Amino acid sequence: MTTLLAIDIGNTNVSFGVFDYAAGDASAGELAQHWRIGTHREQTSDEVALTMTGLFAQAGRSVSEVTDVIIASVVPPLLPIFERVSTKLFDRPPLVVGPGIRTGMPVRYENPREVGADRIVNAVAAYEMFGGPVIAVDFGTATTFDCVSAQGEYLGGVIFPGIHTSMEALFERASMLHRVELARPKSVIGKTTTGALQSGLLYGFAGLVDSMVERIRSELGEARVVATGGLAHRIGGESQAIETVEPFLTLEGLRIIFEKNRPPSDGSRKERTA
């Protein structure tokens, strides 16, 4: 059996997904385990290896089960750390999402190297799962919109500050305001500072998403909208534009790209093919 470890290194969190493939079936792995930990740029490869070993053990599994690794990273200093961990812990270099990797998706960006690996991964997953045109909205450190044409081309998108990023900037600069839970307030018109903040954050971002999707659709056409990221469920419940929430969209995209780059004659990729 093949076991794939997919790693998405983001600015705020690192997500892991373990996909199990049935013996003799290389078509689609099943997400068996998933974890999310905070991103720490100062971590050493030994610390990362210890953390990963602990996560597997907690789930009653062993790192020795892993036969393949794929990584997408938007934190350049951490990529070599995780590459070393893959070599030391799993005895193989990982497949890294970057220039030259097969995604099956033409990138119509002026400079394709500027596009974050996570954005391409989300676009690939959204198109594979829902067809096109499609808009993938990711609520992370930044809130991103990635647009795919009906022909499966990555067209570009939109980037603006994420919800937590905006919250932290506001609380840092406004000494009279305090941190609040992103929860649905009793009313849109806040009767307390907490209620007013919650209304602005929840309904404000939902309205922003709806307005942006409307503008994108005026250029792209009647595209489907899929959301992912830690706060996707919260915003998705208030947004009129978001049709589907896929919490593991990025991990599924990594699986799909792994399968596109896997040698067809080998059940376990032994060499890096990026």
Query: Is it true that 2-99+252-261 and 112-250 share their CATH fold?
Result: yes
In Å, how far from its chain's centre is CA 257? 13
Q: Which fold has domain 2-99+252-261?
A: Nucleotidyltransferase; domain 5 (3.30.420)
Q: What angle do CA 139, 34, 12 make, to 5 degrees?
A: 40
- The mean pLDDT of 186-193, rounded to a whole number, is 93
Alpha helix locations (H) across the chain?
45-58, 79-90, 117-130, 163-173, 193-220, 232-236, 249-261
| Residue 25 appears among annotated catalytic residues | no
Alpha helices in 146-192 (DSSP H): 163-173
Distance from C-alpha of 121 to C-alpha of 273, rounded to nearest angstrom:
17
> Rounded distance, CA 260 to CA 97, Å?
12
The pLDDT assigned to 174 comes to 86
Question: CA torsion, points 40, 41, 44, 49, in degrees to nearest 10?
Answer: 50
- % the chain with pLDDT above 70: 94
Q: Residue 249: CA atoms inside 13 Å, Cβ hemisphere, count?
A: 32
pLDDT bucket at 1, cuts 50 / 70 / 90: confident
So what's the pLDDT on residue 180?
Answer: 84
Domain extent listing, the chain: 2-99+252-261, 112-250
Q: How many helices (H) and strands (E) does the chain have?
A: 7, 10
Helices 163-173 + 193-220 axis angle, to 10: 140
pLDDT digits (tens, 9 = 90+) for 25-43: 656 789 999 999 999 999 9
Residue 27 has a pLDDT of 67
Predicted local confidence at residue 90, as pLDDT: 93
The answer to whether domain 112-250 has CATH 3.30.420.40 is yes
Residue 124 pLDDT > 80: yes
- Give percent of the chain above pLDDT 90: 80
Instruction: Check if the beta carbon of residue 223 is closer than 8 Å to that of residue 132.
Output: yes
Take residue 194 and report the two structure tokens written for it. 């907490």
Note the pLDDT of residue 266: 47
- The DSSP string of 200-269 is HHHHHHHHHHHHHHHHHHHHH-S-EEEEEETTHHHHHTT-SS--EE-TTHHHHHHHHHHHHHS-TT-SS-
- Tell me the per-residue pLDDT of 211-258, one tens digit each, with 9 for 90 and over: 999 999 999 999 999 999 989 999 999 999 999 999 999 999 999 999
Residues 118, 138, 210, 266: which is the catalytic one? Answer: 118
